[in-house]
Amino acid sequence: MLDILFSHSYYYPLDLKQWKNQTPYPPLGTIYAASLLREKGFTVDLFDTNLRDNPYEIEKEIIKKKPKFLVLYDDGFNYLTKMCLTTMRKAAFEMMRIGKSHECTIIVNSSDATDHHAKYLFNGADYIIKGEGELTLLELISALKNNQPIEKIKSLVYIKDEETITNPKREVLKNLDELPIPAWDLVDIDSYRKVWNNGGKEFTLNLATTRGCPFKCNWCAKPIYGNRYNTHSPEYIVKHIQYLQKKYKVERFWMCDDIFGLTPGWVQDFNLELKKQNVTLQYYIQSRVDLLLKEDTIDALAESGLQEVWVGAESGSQSILDAMDKGTKVEEIYNATTLLKEKNIRVAFFIQFGYLGETKSDISKTIKMIKELVPDDLGISVSYPLPGTKFYDKVKDDLRFKANWTDSDDLAMMFKSTYNSKYYKKLHRYVHKEYRKSQGLRFLKTTLKNPSKLSSIAVKRISYLLYYFPSAYIDAQILKRMEHINE
Ligand code: SF4
């Protein structure tokens, strides 16, 4: 009989936009917890839902392994789990129901359960762990196995005598290097590799060098690690990279931290440690433009193998960045993008439309910025109020019937913004077309200057102009008409 069957509630095939990318990442947060519990002497296994398309398959696994505890422990490093998508919530409830029918004790740790513990308790969870979960899980399972009291275990929510008990919050883990290397051996790495390779992409694994973010962008939910920020040492991370390179022959990594290398000097020390250990890699990160511009950060990133950085540009309008409490300047977006491109580091933007008070003129400034800077990739979304954020409090009286997106491509406006959902969906397509147009024109200009550098990508991008010019023009006309219609 197994002590703990770990699982989680994200299913790529149920999130079509993500599944189309064919770039799934193993559930890093889940295997961190599994590794710690195993190190402390419990028998553990993993039912990884990422590449599955329904929650029912877990039943066979439960029948076979007979776990005492079914732990749904979401990967808090995967930003998709923070979106609290209803499809994934339903899947979690189904797995809980199945676990319960086989007499498992059900423990859940996720952003959604942290924000909506009552829903999970109502649907059969025995215990909810709020926020960062490893230590609470270890204490809880040790106590339950030894029939000891659980009243003093921090960050735990449960029902006793028909009353919901919420224990005081636990401090986040300060010394992250205390944690063992995640239990990668429980993951079927080849099945991930196959999806990447079938999509024609180089297989990439995910690593986290930090937990949390100290910034206060007022729409950003941080239900797991909060506003505290802690970091692994460069030595731990380089050892982790060496382990993954040796065991799985992987050379490319997605550093899935909210903000990579925030501690002053960390990126430089990481670069030195890589050199000392003779490790080479390619990697990509998320960061902020203001941090990238600090001292020689971009030089150290380029030297250490950074290929691509995603920045939360959000808007080309300073008044919207200020309204979001983003703490960055439009000018910094321009400067960081220029410097990164000079170092041959790809730059990708997250853009957000529909923030409270955003006008037509703010939208035009964002489009202008995208067309002038032509990032290498673009992710567009609309403002999405998540519980626990200042933005949610601002719009909560105006929230419509629907409170969560179904999947990450939903993009429905949950509150009354300047325009309606249909407008923002059309705007999303229009901006992508304008972006592709700018990319095509850049390639055309470079090719005209230097015809010998014509690549197959350039030919493709230039030929697409024949589609994007008329199509973007038509979208612009439709958007003009839609500006006057609001729900
Ligand atoms: S910097 Fe990024 S992770 Fe931090 S609060 Fe802002 S959006 Fe959230």
Lookup result for tokens 């024609």 = 200
Q: How far is CA 428 from CA 123, 379, 419, 438, 468, in A?
A: 36, 10, 13, 16, 14
pLDDT of 401 reads 63
Can you tell me the distance from the alpha carbon of 90 to that of 71, in angstroms, rounded to the nearest whole number?
16
Query: Does ligand 1 come within 6 angstroms of the Cβ of 256?
Result: no
Instruction: Tell me, in angstroms, the distance from the centre of ligand 1 to residue 212's CA.
Output: 9
Among 381, 476, 481, residue whose Cα is nearest residue 434: 476
The verdict on the CB of residue 217 being under 6 Å from ligand 1 is: yes
**Radius of gyration of the chain, Cα coordinates, nearest whole angstrom:** 23
Say if ligand 1 is within 6 A of residue 259 CB.
yes
Tens-binned pLDDT, residue by residue, of the chain (487 aa):
899 999 999 999 999 989 999 999 999 999 999 999 999 999 999 999 999 999 999 999 999 999 999 999 999 999 888 888 899 999 999 999 999 999 999 999 999 999 999 999 999 999 999 999 999 999 999 999 999 999 999 999 999 999 999 999 999 999 999 999 999 999 999 999 999 999 999 999 999 999 999 999 999 988 788 888 999 999 999 999 999 999 999 999 999 999 998 898 999 999 999 999 999 999 999 999 999 999 999 999 999 999 999 999 999 999 999 999 999 999 999 999 999 999 999 999 999 999 999 999 999 999 999 999 999 999 999 998 888 899 989 888 877 666 788 877 777 888 888 999 999 999 999 999 999 999 999 999 989 888 887 888 888 889 999 999 999 999 999 999 998 765 5
Phi, psi of 69 (to 5 degrees): -120, 130
221 CB within 6 A, ligand 1: no
For residue 321 and ligand 1, the question of a CB distance below 6 A is answered with no
> How far apart are the CA of 215 and the centre of ligand 1, in A?
6
As given in the structure block, the two tokens for residue 29 are 């947060």
Return all residues near 359 (Cβ < 8 A) that are at least 6 apart: 418
Going by DSSP bridges, is the β-strand pair 163-166/156-160 parallel, antiparallel, or unpaired? antiparallel
Please indicate, yes or no, whether the overall pTM of this predicted structure exceeds 0.85.
yes
Pick from 78, 111, 213 the residue to mutate for probing ligand 1's pocket: most ligand atoms within 8 Å of its CB.
213
pLDDT computed for residue 400 by the predictor = 65
- CA dist list (Å): 472 to 245, 263, 435, 465, 476: 44, 42, 10, 10, 6
Indicate whether residue 289 lines ligand 1 (CB < 6 A).
Answer: no
Q: Facing residues of 287 across strands?
A: 311
Is residue 2 within 8 Å of 66, Cβ to Cβ?
yes
Please state, in angstroms and as integers, the Cα–Cα distance from residue 405 to each residue in 19, 82, 84, 382, 396, following that order: 16, 11, 8, 11, 16
- Please list the residues that pair with 444 across neighbouring strands: none
Pocket test for ligand 1, best of 77, 210, 217 (most atoms within 8 A of CB): 217
Contacts of 53 (CB under 8 A, 6+ apart): 11, 13, 14
**Residue 80: alpha-carbon gap to chain centroid:** 5
pLDDT at 96: 98
Q: Which atom of ligand 1 is nearest to the CA of 288?
A: 1
Report the pLDDT value the prediction gives residue 455, as an integer from 0 to 100. Answer: 85
Mutate to test the pocket of ligand 1, among 259, 260, 384 (most ligand atoms within 8 A of CB): 259
In b/e form, how buried is each residue of 407-439, taking b as 16+ CB within 10 angstroms? bbebbebbbebbbbbebbebbbebbbbbbbbbb
Cβ atoms 35, 183 nearer than 8 A: yes
Q: How far is the C-alpha of 397 from the C-alpha of 415, rounded, in Å?
A: 9
Centre of ligand 1 to C-alpha 288, Å, is 8
